[in-house]
Structure 1
């Protein structure tokens, strides 16, 4: 649709907490975007702890909330189970319309707002990948939930994309202009995630986020895209109580 290295589990979570202490603004030359999280700008306290660890909540950015409990649980499970298989991975929270990018070792690299399928739901309609975009009904424009092994490719116009679900023609790519009535740039800039449902199912991300974090991470390698469900629980879809992740994750920031 046009529209590896491993580290101890507590280090991966520590990097996550450090990265969540500061949100900075990102602006694309073509489409301005809401803030994303850039770990390069984080600072540790004088005790070597991130502000979140020290009891101070991460600074929320305009329009980009701190990670939900389901995102945090999924991160813990991926680190503990090594479900990513030593590959880079993305976590997409459809409810908050946000994407979190991790390297192969489980370090959070950045986060950004996203645009998603117009219709809410977690399963693509059968055969939707074979339809022309103009014929896809509004209620069928769904971004499916699940775990997808993904790799870079090019669309018919030569534009690089990250294939998420090839069968149903779902890709992640830099935000497209769309029609003037869709206001995609304004939707990414808005202080709420309520207006981020506009695509035919593909995931639109800020241009600079794609260029700096998605494209380099997936070049010459595949990776995993986890898309959390919005009509059921992430725990049921991805992990279970059989994976005892909690005890192995001591929350400590790494200098």
Structure 2
């Protein structure tokens, strides 16, 4: 199967509107079940695949997502370029609610997750270069697509990946700011490194749902406001990806 692009949807993106002739694929993987069926369809003259990272009913918390199965299944179906759509909190002042960011670096604070396809008996151990965790050419294409779609994204930034599902304390965000993080999310890793192990081109489209703890004017983060911001930002994702596939 030839797939021009695959998108992994985060919180707020559970179906992909605009797919024509959709086909659902349940893929058996050596690593167990993926988050759900992969939906493939025609989109602006190209074939794309979509997978809801948390399941179509948001039943999987970040630390329970089977990232290995998800990436393996997409690769098995022929995906060689993947956009990870991630809901995040903003740490940097210009990364407030409804802003889109295409980060260029990541810091991994997660624990207890399967972070490599090498984590099975008999597998070849690969020491991959991860100096630049996102594919530069795909990042550039994604940024250009966002501009053409009328929703420019911020170029660059460091994504801090936390364990979840709880939000972070103010002290944790202070530490992350000291570490150089501009965004905080719960699903950026190990997705990015698993894509690299499979030689999949990978970039992140981060949708800012809220300011992180202590970074905005609010004393308490409202989950209702988070999902309202996500709904608004998510509406821009299909037009951006339409520009991306149309140009490549």
Same fold (TM over 0.5): no
Tell me the TM-score normalised to structure 2 length: 0.32
Tell me the TM-score normalised to structure 1 length: 0.32
Task: Return the structure number with greater strand share.
Answer: 2
